[in-house]
Structure 1
Amino acid sequence: MINQQHQVSTFSELGLSEPLLKTLEQLNFTTPTPIQIECIPPGIEGRDIIGIAPTGSGKTAAFVLPILNHLWDNPQGMFACVLAPTRELAFQIASQIDALGSAMGARTAVIVGGDEDRVKQAVMLARKPHIVVATPGRLLDHLKVTKGFNLRNIKFLILDEADRLLDSDFGVSVDEILKVIPTERTTYLFSATLTDKVAKLQRANLRNPVKVQVSTKYETVDSLLQYYLLCPLVKKEATLVSLLNSMAQNSIIIFVRTKEHCQRLAVISRILGFRSVPLHGDMSQSQRLGALNQFKSEGSNILIATDIASRGLDIPSVDVVINFDCPTHSKDYIHRVGRTARAGRSGKSILMASQYDIEFVQRLEKVLDKKLDLYPHDPEEAHLLRERVDEAGRVAANQLREDKRAKGDARRRRKPLSSGDRDGEEDLDEVNRFVMKKKRKV
């Protein structure tokens, strides 16, 4: 196991090729992070790697740079496959590969599900990209049905957010993919948290891997201030609104448990005058990317999201993460709060806990081996806001029912779609549509 940083201060000391060094200089990548220092040299040597590091620590470049270095030495067709658990993370990884590999002409293809066109994806695959970045389900579909496409010649397999890829949602697809790729390959596993499933895959599929661990199993960065806030369940929405009022100038991500609650809070907050956008799995891919871009460009300063936004997304300017709903597992908390305090910056997280969440808070503190501080907040402000927030909630509930009924009618009137096309029909613009219609009633 490697868990200490060598005395390295520049990328040139890591053995990268000249084109990559020039590109890094152009991109203002000056000093490698600990995970990059520990991963790049064994990656260049051709070793299998398990990389464990906090979110925001530069894991993507840690596996992309060795792959591009090998590609420069041995240019060929399909060279590597990167698997990611979410579409957004797949697009983000591909954009970083495109940037780092620009000087050497590295070609990527992003293969994800939802409303992405299968035919266009098949055309991209036929052009033999060097690196395929994919979500497991859609990649497996193409391996089964797309004529002429296979991964029999790839040299590298990378599982980013490996613990998530090996859970029940993706495990079956990943196992099927592993059966049709070369056993003689280099494999990288990367995650912010190490689970038993990752360790099991290490024993089954990796050959004498280098284990790079620059964090403990569950660890948050020192620059993150972590708080909890106790409030009754019936006052939770009003308490959230009072928090948002007090942080009007901040960039905030609010995590919720379900798609329905995500949409509801987005509507309520917009009715009450906040610049918020939702992000959840029932939105089309273009709308999901649009929401992210709107948040990154500061067109909106509040992103209300399910856990699809908790993994790997690099949004540099997030000031605060609010856990409106407690996550199911402690490791999910690590990934959520990792959206702020990235790359050495400071940040703040607030865990909103009702009377039913006390046990989770105690369990989380035990896992983190630290006590969360009580967030200073005046409950009287939430009490004063409650009537207005409850009324906004009633308006939102009525409109969401109307919108669901209208969509059901529209779906029945048109030709049935395939499951892949049907995924994510909800439109981000629905928030704007009915907020303007109902705002006067509040």
Structure 2
Amino acid sequence: MPHKVKEEIKSFKDLGLCDELVEACDSLGWKTPTKIQVEAVPHALEGKDLIAHAQTGSGKTGAFALPILNALLDFHSKQGYKSAPIFFALVLSPTRELAIQIASQFEALGSGIGLKCAVLVGGENIMQQQISLGKRPQIIVASPGRLMDHLNNTKGFSLHELKYLVLDEADKLLSADFEKALNDIFNVIPRDRRTYLFSASMTRNVKKLQRACLRNPVLIESSECCTVDTLKQQLCLMPSKYKDCYLVYILTEMSGYACMVFTRTCYATRLLSRILQNLNIRAIPISGQMTQQMRIGALNKFKSRECSVLVCTDVASRGLDIPAVDMVINYDIPQDPRDYIHRVGRTARAGRSGVAISLVNQYEAQWYLLIEEFIGKKLPKYDPQEEEVKLLMERVEESKRLSLMKLKETGGAKKRRGGDEDDEDIERYLGVKGKPSKFGKRE
């Protein structure tokens, strides 16, 4: 049975954390623990495995980082600093950006205790990561594939003394996408360990959960609701040929909003961002086909409000803490309702309000019905002035025509030269290299 909230816990001290971590929380401005932290931390401090299902933006990272750091400090005090395992805890993440974010939170909490953390993700220099491992970090945050690269190829790297394993966004990690890498990892880490599974949406497939080798885990569901009450969710029905016009209309009407637009493919992020840029809407794409440096650059542009619209695939849907997101638009409806939960969870975080609008054409209605069934409620319609939307048709179609021509040209250049001119244009726009192009000046 899910554990009940302990109402008497009012502070991080009440959770049973050591003084050093209470001070670290205070220095970060964390005044009171969140609901998931109140639910999870006491059980973790008792040495229990956890399966935690909590809303996005609820403080999940702190819920597993705090007990791990508390255990590390306790290990030091009892057995001495030098006797502690070098690689004390491993946190696995399905995306590079989430791994980097988790590591930064560990480092912030452990800044006063000399904590060392290594991030092992694809898209980054493997030699630099090997150097990082050589500095004897206590915490490793990794994507499964790159972790296995190091276990197979980095001399002297082993996890045989590991004490803690965390699967963040566990439902994604336990899917078929990561099955082989995860099985290989389970085969080389100790069975005698603490294991935490955290996610905003958790699979009910018991066999999948059993793969993580949990031992009598405590099930924690910090909320019965899949989405927060401060999120205003709407759907907008339209014929498919007008979808781009509806997108432009909404972004124009909400011009002061920071918005994430979710698409199904990497190509669509590039096409839509170009269409929007041609219409003087400050947009930038982010997808798995971009280099890590470009992805980080795009996120930084969006966080700093230099760009108001981030056009993205589901690579940006999980775990990223971008407090300034005012609105999420589902340009393409996800076929898995759990992906919807993660997407709309990018807004209305930590008690803030937010808006989520899903553009639904005649071919996507079946998927949206599944989403409504999953979240347990019918969503109201967003009804713009249809005539005003149709007035945008000519401008939007011309912008789309020019964007398609540009992408076709760069695709041809890629085949001829083995490069990608479009990526170079994005790099200049992000300030990664070279001078700004017309693409960048449009902002």
TM interval, shorter chain, is over 0.9
Other-structure match for 1:310? 317
Other-structure match for 2:433? none
**Does 1:383 pair with 2:390?**
yes
Unaligned runs of 5+ in 2: 77-83, 430-435
SS at match of 1:11: coil
**Does 1:178 pair with 2:173?**
no
**In 1: Cα distance, 2:157 partner to 2:135 partner:** 10
**In 2: Cα distance, 1:211 partner to 1:222 partner:** 23
Residue 294 of structure 1 and its aligned partner are, at CA, apart by: 1.0
Matches within 5 A, 1:203-242: 205-216=213-224, 219-242=226-249
Other-structure match for 1:433? 437
Q: Write the letter of the residue equivalent to 1:428.
A: I
SS at match of 1:196: coil
Aligned length: 426
SS at match of 1:172: helix
Other-structure match for 1:416? none
**Percent identity among equivalent residues?**
47
Q: What RMSD over aligned residues (CA atoms) do the two structures have, in Å?
A: 1.8
Given that 1:283 and 1:427 are in contact with CA atoms closer than 8 Å, whether structure 2 keeps it comes out as no
Given that 1:90 and 1:133 are in contact with CA atoms closer than 8 Å, whether structure 2 keeps it comes out as yes
Residue 229 of structure 1 and its aligned partner are, at CA, apart by: 0.1
SS at match of 1:266: helix
| 1:153-186 Cα deviation digits (max 9, x unpaired) | 1100000000001112112111110100001010
Residue 152 of structure 1: which of 147, 160, 169 is its match?
160
Residue 197 of structure 1 and its aligned partner are, at CA, apart by: 4.2
When the two structures are superposed, what TM-score results if normalisation uses the length of structure 1? 0.93
Residue 332 of structure 2: which of 325, 329, 334 is its match?
325
| 1:334-372 Cα deviation digits (max 9, x unpaired) | 000000111111111001000111112222211111111
When the two structures are superposed, what TM-score results if normalisation uses the length of structure 2? 0.93
| 1:381-428 Cα deviation digits (max 9, x unpaired) | 22111111111111111111222222333327xxxxxxxxx9x96663
**In 2: Cα distance, 1:86 partner to 1:333 partner:** 17
The range that moved more, 118-127 or 77-86, is: 118-127
Residue 78 of structure 1: which of 83, 87, 90 is its match?
87
Matches within 5 A, 1:345-356: 345-356=352-363
Given that 1:224 and 1:347 are in contact with CA atoms closer than 8 Å, whether structure 2 keeps it comes out as yes
Q: Write the letter of the residue equivalent to 1:19.
A: E
Other-structure match for 1:142? 150
Unaligned runs of 5+ in 1: 413-421
Q: Write the letter of the residue equivalent to 1:5.
A: V
Q: Write the letter of the residue equivalent to 1:128.
A: R
Residue 221 of structure 1 and its aligned partner are, at CA, apart by: 0.6
**In 1: Cα distance, 2:440 partner to 2:74 partner:** 57
Q: Write the letter of the residue equivalent to 2:240.
A: L
Residue 280 of structure 1 and its aligned partner are, at CA, apart by: 0.4
**In 2: Cα distance, 1:204 partner to 1:142 partner:** 21
Residue 255 of structure 1 and its aligned partner are, at CA, apart by: 0.4
Residue 259 of structure 1 and its aligned partner are, at CA, apart by: 0.2
Residue 258 of structure 1 and its aligned partner are, at CA, apart by: 0.2
Q: Write the letter of the residue equivalent to 2:215.
A: R
Q: 1:198 to 1:300 in 2, by over 3 A?
A: farther
SS at match of 2:103: helix
**Does 1:2 pair with 2:11?**
no
SS at match of 1:229: strand
SS at match of 2:391: helix
The range that moved more, 395-404 or 321-330, is: 395-404
Q: Which has the higher contact order (CA 8 A, sep 6+)?
A: 1
Q: 1:402 to 1:155 in 2, by over 3 A?
A: same
Q: 1:340 to 1:94 in 2, by over 3 A?
A: same
SS at match of 1:14: coil
**In 1: Cα distance, 2:428 partner to 2:178 partner:** 30
Q: Write the letter of the residue equivalent to 1:144.
A: N
**In 2: Cα distance, 1:70 partner to 1:96 partner:** 17
